[in-house]
């Protein structure tokens, strides 16, 4: 096994990973040897799919404030967010928007030339900064261009290199084992520190907005390495997934004035959130939609996906073409429907993991030389429910923070001992997986896992369904031990990659379901039919899941409250 050594390794090349690489290079004056590792070609990271905007307070003179953004976020989180993290976030984000502006991001503008902002769900002021409906793509492109311009000599890219394990020595990060897909080699990447920026685990669901590559790799590797996962039971279902594909119909559709109607043509949100209507938080709208569908006011759809409607027709062609061009293009290409002329069929869709690797306010994990940023991390900023536009913002801010802190750490830290024995054991595991003549299909296991998660961990949950789901996941994990990888080659073996991804997905799904089954309340994205109320006396706390031979061990941490005590959420 070849060994390559770097000062800092960044795993993941989305918004958080790119921002971390830029900041680490800047802080070190280009003197650090930084590895940027991605299982994809760099600009294929799922961050390019973010559409609607990025939250920041830019208009205090027009009525917005840091306190208002913080309150909206804490209330939106159903009071599970750590309020010190929220305060730090809202204070720092305006500078991130201006930094991207200085780097050349083509933000949409107002008539007076200032950066435009639009309304988003759960926000009481229009603070979503946007670039039409391609915000994530433009942010990624700007960071990528800046990386090429300023840090070419200090950042080495490892594109299409798949990480299989985080290796620890004496409780500290020592290296990564990776598969060089193009070269067909197993490599050991050693480093003084690691920043995890691998995104979420949305592919554990069947109906999801996520790219096929978002399979919880970083979450599972961190969990297997002994790091705790926090609040994984909280999964966000975006209210507007295109039927039948699940492609995201950005919340900007509603921010620009789109409405939700049922099969009877009624704007049903007035029953559920009479003040904010279609701009209520996502968990509230998702439950409202499912209630309409379950009570017979949806429209029968393909593959059993009954739907309600997202109506943009009243916005007019000019506004749709200016503000929502991607939405129109996707609808026409995928279902042959022009949203200028007809409403869009939508239903709630798995969209985001509020939980992740447990970190402190600076993105530091319990391992002294591992940081985590973006969706793979749980600071906790989002608590039980994330507000739209706070996620791309989180990636940018904690990408910067972790890049800065890790760069300063590695400038003074020694290189840990080589994890030779652990690396050799991982290489033997991969070889055994490649050569074993198993009887199970990992593709079938993945399909069954996703069906199980859709059935047991959806918008509405029950103890009985989750218990059955957890039992099924553990049966699938046992069957997974007997899978067969049919492609025995080394170069670009996507069969092997998919098999490894399925193993990661099983771990992420088990942790999420175990945490949800234990949490006997309804809060944010975790809505139980058998425990319908929020229970602050018993459950105003974070779940921590740590690996054991028998599955996740669940412990709990208090929520950090600095200003606002929990109250009833009304919109």
Q: Is 238 a catalytic residue?
A: yes
From the options 3.90.700.10, 3.40.50.1100, 1.20.120.420, 3.20.180.10, give the CATH code of 238-349.
Answer: 3.90.700.10
Provide DSSP, 52-88: S-EE----GGGT--HHHHHHHHHHHTTT-S-HHHHHH
Q: Are strands 541-548 and 551-558 parallel, antiparallel or unpaired?
A: antiparallel
CA–CA distance, 353 with 200 (Å, rounded to integer): 6
Residue 172 contacts by C-beta under 8 Å, 6 or more apart in sequence?
Answer: 367, 368, 369, 416
pLDDT tier at 309 (50, 70, 90 boundaries)? very high
Orientation angle between helical segments 442-456 and 463-480, nearest 10 degrees: 170
Residue 408: the pLDDT is 97
From the options 1.10.940.10, 3.40.50.2300, 1.20.58.100, 2.60.40.1120, give the CATH code of 421-537.
Answer: 1.20.58.100
Q: Which one is catalytic: 46, 254, 287, 479?
A: 254
Residue 390: the pLDDT is 97
Say if residue 349's pLDDT is above 80.
yes
Query: What is the per-residue pLDDT across 14-50, written as a single tens digit (0 to 9) for each?
Result: 999 999 999 999 999 989 999 999 999 988 899 988 8
pLDDT tier at 153 (50, 70, 90 boundaries)? confident
Q: Which one is catalytic: 6, 118, 190, 238?
A: 238
Q: Report domain extents, the chain.
A: 238-349, 421-537
Residue among 297, 240, 239 nearest 268 (CA) = 297
Residue 242: the pLDDT is 97
Residue 312 contacts by C-beta under 8 Å, 6 or more apart in sequence?
Answer: 253, 256, 257, 258, 320, 324, 327, 339, 340, 343, 344
Query: What is the per-residue pLDDT across 260-269, written as a single tens digit (0 to 9) for each?
Result: 999 999 999 9
Query: What is the per-residue pLDDT across 162-203, written as a single tens digit (0 to 9) for each?
Result: 999 999 999 999 999 999 999 999 999 999 999 999 999 999
Report which of residues 50 and 473 the model is more confident about.
Answer: 473
CA–CA distance, 287 with 300 (Å, rounded to integer): 18
**Stretch 501-518: mean pLDDT, rounded?**
98
CA–CA distance, 11 with 218 (Å, rounded to integer): 8
Residue 43: the pLDDT is 86
Residue 194 CA, distance from chain mean position = 19
Q: What is the pTM of this model?
A: 0.95
Residue 51: the pLDDT is 85
Query: What is the per-residue pLDDT across 512-535, written as a single tens digit (0 to 9) for each?
Result: 999 999 999 999 999 999 999 999
Residue 406: the pLDDT is 98
Residue 271: the pLDDT is 96
**Stretch 377-402: mean pLDDT, rounded?**
97
Alpha helices in 367-441 (DSSP H): 390-412, 420-435
Percent of the chain at pLDDT > 70 equals 100
| Main-chain phi, psi angles of 296, to 5 degrees | 90, 10
């Amino acid at each position: 096994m070849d060994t390559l050594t770097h000062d800092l390794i960044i795993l993941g090349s989305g918004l958080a990973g790119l921002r971390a690489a830029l900041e680490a290079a800047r802080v070190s004056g280009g003197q650090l040897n930084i590895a940027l590792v991605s299982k994809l070609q760099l600009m294929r990271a799922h961050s390019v799919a973010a559409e609607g905007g990025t939250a920041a307070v830019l208009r205090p003179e027009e009525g917005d404030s840091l306190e208002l953004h913080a309150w909206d976020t804490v209330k939106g989180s159903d009071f599970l967010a750590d309020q010190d993290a929220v305060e730090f976030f809202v204070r720092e984000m305006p500078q991130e928007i201006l930094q991207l502006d200085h780097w050349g991001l083509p933000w949409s503008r107002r008539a007076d030339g200032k950066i435009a902002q639009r309304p988003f769900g759960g926000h009481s002021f229009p603070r979503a900064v946007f670039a039409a409906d391609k915000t994530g793509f433009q942010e990624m492109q700007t960071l990528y261009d800046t990386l090429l311009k300023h840090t070419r000599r200090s950042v080495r890219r490892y594109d299409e290199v798949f990480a299989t394990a985080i290796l620890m020595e004496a409780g500290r990060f020592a290296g990564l084992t990776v598969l060089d897909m193009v070269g067909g080699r197993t490599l050991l990447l050693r480093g003084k520190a690691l920043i995890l920026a691998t995104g979420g685990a949305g592919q554990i669901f069947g109906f999801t907005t996520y790219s096929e590559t978002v399979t919880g790799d970083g979450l599972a590797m961190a969990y297997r390495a002994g790091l705790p996962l926090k609040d994984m039971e909280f999964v966000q279902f975006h209210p507007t997934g295109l039927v039948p594909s699940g492609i995201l119909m950005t919340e900007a559709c509603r921010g620009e004035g789109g409405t939700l109607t049922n099969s009877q043509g009624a704007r049903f949100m007035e029953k559920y959130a009479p003040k904010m209507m279609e701009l209520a938080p996502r968990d509230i709208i998702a439950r409202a939609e499912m209630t309409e569908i379950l009570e017979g006011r949806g429209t029968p759809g393909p593959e059993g996906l009954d739907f309600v409607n997202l109506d943009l027709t009243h916005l007019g062609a000019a506004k749709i073409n200016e503000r929502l061009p991607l939405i129109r293009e996707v609808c026409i290409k995928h279902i042959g429907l022009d949203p200028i002329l007809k409403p869009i069929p939508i239903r709630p869709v798995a969209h985001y993991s509020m939980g992740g690797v447990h970190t402190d306010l600076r993105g530091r994990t319990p391992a002294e030389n591992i940081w985590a940023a973006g969706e793979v991390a749980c600071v906790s900023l989002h608590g039980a429910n994330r507000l739209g536009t706070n996620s791309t913002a989180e990636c940018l801010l904690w990408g910067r923070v972790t890049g800065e802190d890790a760069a300063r750490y590695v400038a003074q830290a020694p290189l840990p001992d080589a994890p030779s024995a652990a690396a050799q054991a991982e290489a033997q595991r991969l070889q055994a997986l490649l050569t074993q003549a198993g009887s199970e299909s990992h593709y079938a296991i993945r399909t069954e896992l996703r069906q199980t998660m859709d059935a047991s961990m959806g918008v509405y949950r029950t103890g009985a369904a989750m218990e059955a789901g957890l039992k099924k996941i553990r049966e699938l994990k046992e069957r997974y031990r007997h899978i067969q990888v049919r492609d025995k080659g080394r170069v670009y073996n996507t069969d092997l990659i998919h098999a490894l991804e399925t193993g990661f997905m099983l771990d992420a799904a088990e942790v999420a379901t175990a945490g949800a089954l234990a949490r006997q309340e309804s809060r944010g994205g975790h809505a139980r039919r058998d425990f319908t109320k929020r229970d602050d006396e018993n459950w105003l706390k974070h779940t921590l899941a740590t690996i054991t031979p028998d599955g996740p061990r669940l412990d709990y941490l208090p929520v950090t409250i600095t200003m606002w005590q929990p109250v009833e959420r009304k919109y």
